[in-house]
Chains A and B, each alone.
Chain A
């Protein structure tokens, strides 16, 4: 490798590069989020789930509108129209009750809508608190290491090791059931898993050269955590959070079902289901509709979460499986060509001109 040869090759390649640049100016850089959204849009299941969630959200937000239409506020019982002669709930469509009434003659549809408000609120708020707390704890533990890591990571393990339903019940009993206590209890159990994932990611990211570059520029630990590490964590945290919302919703329903959550007369899916048990033999709608609401909501969030995970990481199973199937269909010589194409993905190896 002679020096003059080097310079000559350099000028040539530089000229080629600037010619390319003229075209390149027109190309718009796509962010990771744009790419994710493009992939997510192609996922029919995830898009259907997203649509379902949007409908549920709209129904919950506009619940008062339905009250205005039906003239049935959520907590008002209608003993005359809402109960039959035996005092049992009336069925769907009867006397202006779209989905029938509940055990005390209240409009079941309206109560499910108001239950959705509670469920979604608890789901989003606890997940948000859990995600923020988990990211903070995981980042601190992973970045600082040492004693801070030992303390935080062991605390995280301890929280994860708890039989959380038992502890949640105990806390709800001691502190008295209320929306605030419910949110606090659920959030307390949702940050730990996120913290553990974030800690692991942080441990690997902090060894990257760009972290060292930031340090050499004089960036402090908090600036590095926020500007350099956090953007790399958003993808896994977003996926985890999407999958945590249904967990939190079910958790709230469980606590309410056991009578330790939202207190009557405020509507909550768990509470409605608990009351419905007494009527399951006579009034099927009383059990089926709130249960369906819970099922559809959690299913939609889970499917969306899976879709987001696949879209964020193009190397997930589904994509790989699809690729394999396509290759199988294309026949043998194509497979060979594919194999070569795969080889070219491997970063070119530049033999080090080491002097040893």
Chain B
């Protein structure tokens, strides 16, 4: 990437002034060492979890981050939240550089950046009462004690649609949806500016998903929250997001405002993802042409050269394996709709019929 700042950073959000940007990630790289051996563990390779990713989220908006399992989206979220150190790159939050801050320096930032986790079962301590779990943020940041804290916790429970009387219960006594509401209440406690939602509804029933999504939307409206919303469900992301970024093997393949990306996807991977999403309407389902990708996602320890998608791409040519495509606006697209592809998909093009994606 020659100038990712100009391309992915500011360019993707032209409607908002630069000062209105809440989060900005520049050239973030996160590699995990792969160790072997017993006593003297030596590094034998690196998992390229996130590789040179840049993005920005305007204040009060939602960025949806889509990708398969293992595409690095959760790692990206944890890096932004400061839970794991980044290998290189920069994270700016509300104008402050928060890259790899010490725990002490990160502490005030923690109040403004919160997380909602994927698994409503393992994200709540089974041995602690709900009141204590939701009151944790107040206790850690010493903002209130005793009766005042209890009142705040009960207000929060009411706000997220839980019965405040259940203050003294254990997480095991709640359903999955209610547990996720507990997680939302905990994230909301300190009135953060940014909430990172790491697949917040993936573990829930579809009807419960809707409740939680609607709750998140209400909270965003009422508190002016900004979301980094991670999911692998394209319809969920379409429902909640203002803009979308599609990740594949640690890189962003395509990003832009929601509607252009969904209506006229340019990256073959995005097209394939969209074609594989289930449709509720049987007529639509019958009419659409699925693009069957061949092979598996390559190992992130040894990612393919050039475009990371080229071994599975129906449109791949020699150049794709040699030269890495830049994330840039393609001809005919808005300046905010960026695609990293040498041969972007044209409107009306039938990928399913192309090359080696021939369905068997």
Chain A residues near B (Cβ < 8 Å): 1-3, 5-7, 9-10, 12-14, 17, 21, 24-25, 27-32, 208-210, 212-220, 223, 227-228, 231-232, 348, 350, 352-356
CB neighbours of A353 from chain B (8 A): 232-236, 277-278
Which listed residue (B163, B170, B208) contacts A13, Cβ 8 A? B208
Closest partner residue, chain B, to A213 (CB atom): B123
Which of A1, A27, A212 has the most C-beta atoms of chain B within 10 angstroms of its own C-beta? Answer: A1
Closest partner residue, chain B, to A10 (CB atom): B210
Which listed residue (B110, B202, B207) contacts A217, Cβ 8 A? B110
Question: Could you tell me the distance in whole angstroms from the C-beta of B187 to the nearest C-beta in chain A?
Answer: 9
CB neighbours of B274 from chain A (8 A): 355
A-binding segment of B54-62, B112-120, B320-328: B112-120
CB neighbours of B276 from chain A (8 A): 354-356
Q: Give 1 or 0 for each of B188-221: 1 = CB within 8 Å of chain A CB.
A: 0000000000000011111111110110000000
Q: Is the CB of A352 within 8 A of B210?
A: no
16 additional contacts, CB 8 Å, given A10-B211, A10-B214, A29-B170?
A1-B206, A3-B238, A7-B210, A9-B210, A10-B213, A13-B177, A13-B211, A208-B122, A208-B125, A212-B83, A218-B137, A219-B136, A219-B140, A348-B205, A350-B203, A353-B277
Closest partner residue, chain B, to A29 (CB atom): B169
Closest partner residue, chain B, to A353 (CB atom): B233
CB neighbours of B214 from chain A (8 A): 7, 10
Q: B316 near A: Cβ within 8 Å?
A: no
List CB contacts (< 8 Å) of B209-251 with chain A.
209-211, 213-214, 232-236, 238-239
Q: Is the CB of A10 within 8 A of B232?
A: no
CB neighbours of A2 from chain B (8 A): 235, 280-281
Pick the 10 closest A-B CB pairs, nearest first: A10-B210, A218-B110, A29-B169, A6-B210, A231-B127, A355-B273, A9-B207, A209-B123, A25-B165, A21-B163
CB neighbours of A12 from chain B (8 A): 207
CB neighbours of A17 from chain B (8 A): 161, 177-178
Q: Is the CB of B273 within 8 A of A210?
A: no
Q: Whole-angstrom distance between the alpha carbons of A214 and B205 in the complex?
A: 26
Q: Give 1 or 0 for each of B158-180: 1 = CB within 8 Å of chain A CB.
A: 00010101101110010001100
Given known A1-B278, A209-B118, A217-B140, contact A354–B68 (CB-CB < 8 A): yes
Q: Is the CB of B128 within 8 A of A227?
A: yes
Question: Could you tell me the distance in whole angstroms from the C-beta of A212 to the nearest C-beta in chain B?
Answer: 6
Which listed residue (B113, B129, B169, B234) contacts A355, Cβ 8 A? B234
Given known A14-B161, A223-B140, contact A6–B209 (CB-CB < 8 A): yes
Q: Is the CB of B127 within 8 A of A218?
A: no
Q: B141 near A: Cβ within 8 Å?
A: yes
Closest partner residue, chain A, to B207 (CB atom): A9
Closest partner residue, chain A, to B239 (CB atom): A3
Say what secondary structure dominates the interface of chain A.
helix
Which listed residue (B163, B273, B293) contacts A24, Cβ 8 A? B163
CB neighbours of B140 from chain A (8 A): 214, 217-219, 223
Q: B315 near A: Cβ within 8 Å?
A: no
CB neighbours of A228 from chain B (8 A): 125, 128
CB neighbours of A6 from chain B (8 A): 206-207, 209-210, 213, 239
Q: Whole-angstrom distance between the alpha carbons of A95 and B243 in the complex?
A: 97
Q: Whole-angstrom distance between the alpha carbons of A17 and B161 in the complex?
A: 9
Q: Is the CB of B115 within 8 A of A216?
A: yes
Closest partner residue, chain A, to B162 (CB atom): A21
CB neighbours of B232 from chain A (8 A): 352-356
Q: Is the CB of A3 within 8 A of B119?
A: no
Given known A6-B206, A214-B136, contact A14–B163 (CB-CB < 8 A): no
Q: Give 1 or 0 for each of B135-157: 1 = CB within 8 Å of chain A CB.
A: 01100110000000000000000
CB neighbours of A223 from chain B (8 A): 140
Which of B111, B163, B205 has the most C-beta atoms of chain A within 10 angstroms of its own C-beta? Answer: B163
Question: Could you tell me the distance in whole angstroms from the C-beta of A222 to the nearest C-beta in chain B?
Answer: 12
Q: Whole-angstrom distance between the alpha carbons of A117 and B205 in the complex?
A: 60
Q: Is the CB of A218 within 8 A of B106?
A: yes
Which of A13, A228, A354 has the most C-beta atoms of chain B within 10 angstroms of its own C-beta? Answer: A354
Given known A24-B166, A228-B125, A354-B232, contact A213–B115 (CB-CB < 8 A): yes
Question: Could you tell me the distance in whole angstroms from the C-beta of A315 to the nearest C-beta in chain B?
Answer: 15
Given known A213-B117, A353-B235, A354-B232, contact A14–B211 (CB-CB < 8 A): yes
Q: Is the CB of B210 within 8 A of A232?
A: no
30 contacts between A and B (CB under 8 A): A3-B239, A9-B210, A10-B207, A14-B211, A24-B165, A27-B173, A29-B169, A29-B173, A31-B129, A32-B170, A209-B123, A213-B123, A213-B124, A213-B186, A214-B140, A215-B83, A217-B114, A217-B136, A218-B106, A218-B110, A218-B111, A219-B136, A227-B136, A353-B233, A355-B66, A355-B232, A355-B233, A355-B274, A355-B277, A356-B68
CB neighbours of B183 from chain A (8 A): 213
Closest partner residue, chain B, to A356 (CB atom): B68
